Amino acid sequence: MGSARFSRCRTMEALVAIFCVLGMISLCCATRMESGSRQKLEVQKHLRRLNKPAVKTIESPDGDLIDCVHMSHQPAFDHPFLKDHKIQMRPSYHPEGLFDENKVAEKASEKPNPINQLWHVNGKCPDGTIPIRRTKHEDVLRASSVKRYGRKKHRSTPIPPRSAEPDLINQSGHQHAIAYVEGDKYYGAKATMNVWEPSIQQPNEFSLSQLWILGGSFGEDLNSIEAGWQVSPDLYGDNNTRLFTYWTSDAYQATGCYNLLCSGFIQINSDIAMGASISPVSAYRNSQYDISILVWKDPKEGHWWMQFGNGFVMGYWPSFLFSYLADSASMIEWGGEVVNSEPNGQHTSTQMGSGHFPDEGFGKASYFRNIQVVDGSNNLKPPKGIGTFTEQPDCYDVQTGSNGDWGHFFYYGGPGRNPNCQ
């Protein structure tokens, strides 16, 4: 009799335990479902904020959707400070010497080939609109969070000045091969760079070539305006080479973003889409294709303007976005950057530039040519006192030079992992 009661008690205990476990599983599932629903709503809300109503949509051969959005409806105007902003349709001034420099470039021995964006083959945006690459659900889901979508990882800083502590140099696995100037007041920079499609080892890595306009310290208050080309599977979902811009006023913490993925940059151009694929790209021992980028501060209005190529004035970053750059830049950088996310001290095989070292020269290595700065009198001038920097020259390197056709130039890049770079 006693043993039967004991057996029943054990059975009841076991059943209670099973129900408890089932209850916990059910609660976990419900919490997970609730969390999933919350994330889905958050993503949808973010997409509605980013993807403005389109006048026309163009499907690019690479699968991108380019929305032609009325200029006054672009994401920039989500910023409270831009609520009553009157769009400036052209800069008050171009830098002096810009058009002379273009004539010199046309006479250069290696003339650049024409370059376009892939979506152009299927149409163009009407006047009064700007092309915006549509953000898709899966684009946002690849980010670490909805809030971080379209932003660089915190502390993804460019290289510090020569006086910086060595332990600041290689943060977050970012590696560089750059030329730079510092020690003066700079009001802009220009360069022509050839365009490649470097291979990326892992989706969370990227490879880019760009110019940096920098102000402030390399601490929490860094101001940066950046423009160039990049391959970033995490951001775009593919390995295409794309035109991009970036800005931050607090060292990549809470302000700024790529392209038009937040309020800030005001685009006025209807021909070029930020974040869209560039086509064609350079090939090893074959045709070379390059792009020119100029970023300068309008002496009258104080905004930072960007020009792509010889004629596409893209738009501007309003001066109020910045603290230090509201006045001038204290450092300019040109060159390449990759992310090395390999663990245990190993090195990624993600390529920088063409994936070949600088000493291979034209047609094989990647280059920046006609690098210039804008001075306080709004003149384009050759930079003085150019320095170079790379963390691991056996992985990625940089070599400078100058001549009559290319002005100040440098070759840069490399393959990443190789017998000398493990």
pLDDT digits (tens, 9 = 90+) for 252-311: 999 999 999 999 999 999 999 999 999 999 999 999 999 999 999 999 999 999 999 988
pLDDT tens sequence across 86-111:
999 999 999 998 766 555 444 544 45
Q: Cα 215 to the chain's mean position, in Å?
A: 18
Q: What is residue 2's predicted lDDT score, i.e. its pLDDT?
A: 55
What are the tens digits of pLDDT across the range 392-404? 999 999 999 999 9
Residue 12 pLDDT exceeds 50? yes
Bridge partners, 278 (sequence order): 117
46 pLDDT higher than 80: yes
- Specify the higher pLDDT residue, 163 or 62: 62
Query: What was the pLDDT predicted at 30?
Result: 53
Distance CA 62, CA 240 (A): 9
Alpha-carbon distance 58 to 223, whole Å? Answer: 35
Furthest C-alpha separation in the chain: 108
Are the beta carbons of 150 and 143 closer than 8 angstroms? Answer: yes
Single out the residue of 339, 313, 317 nearest to residue 326, CA to CA: 317
Q: Mean pLDDT in the chain?
A: 88
Q: What is the pLDDT of residues 337-378, one digit of tens each?
A: 999 998 878 899 999 999 999 999 999 999 999 999 999 999
The reply to whether omega before 280 is within 30° of 0 (cis) is yes
For residue 120, pLDDT beyond 60: yes
Position 170 scores a pLDDT of 47
CA distance 146 to 131: 23
CA distance to 103, 292, 399, 415, per residue, from 369 (Å): 14, 9, 12, 21
Residue 342 annotated in active site:
no
The lowest-confidence range among 2-6, 166-170, 270-274, 401-405 is: 166-170
220 vs 232, more confident: 232
Residue type, 157: T
Per DSSP bridges, beta strands 223-231 and 387-390 are unpaired
pTM: 0.87
Alpha-carbon distance of 280 to 203, in angstroms, equals 23
Residue 3, pLDDT > 80, answer no
Residue 380 pLDDT level (bands cut at 50, 70, 90): very high
Q: Select from 367, 410, 372 the least CA-distant residue to 388.
A: 410
The yes-or-no answer on residue 42 being catalytic is no
Q: Where are the beta strands (DSSP E) in 140-196?
A: 174-186, 188-194
Note the pLDDT of residue 163: 45
In angstroms, the CA 277 to CA 197 distance is 11
Percentage above 90 pLDDT, the chain: 75
* Percent of the chain with pLDDT strictly greater than 70: 83
Residue 159 has pLDDT above 60, yes or no: no
**Catalytic residue (one of 101, 197, 333, 337):** 337
- Give the ranges where 282-419 is alpha helix by DSSP (H): none
Q: How many whole angstroms separate alpha carbon 171 and alpha carbon 69?
A: 38
Those residues with Cβ within 8 angstroms of residue 189's Cβ, 6 or more apart along the chain or in another chain: 211, 213, 294, 295, 296, 329, 332, 334, 371, 372, 373, 374
Q: Which residue has the tokens 């039967």?
A: 4
Helix (H) or strand (E) holding 19: helix 2-50
pLDDT confidence tier of residue 144, bands split at 50, 70 and 90? confident
Judging by DSSP bridges, how do beta strands 129-133 and 65-70 pair with one another? Answer: antiparallel
pLDDT at residue number 251: 92
Q: Residue 134 pLDDT more than 60?
A: yes
The catalytic residue among 101, 197, 205, 226 is: 226
Q: For residues 226-244, give the mean pLDDT.
A: 97
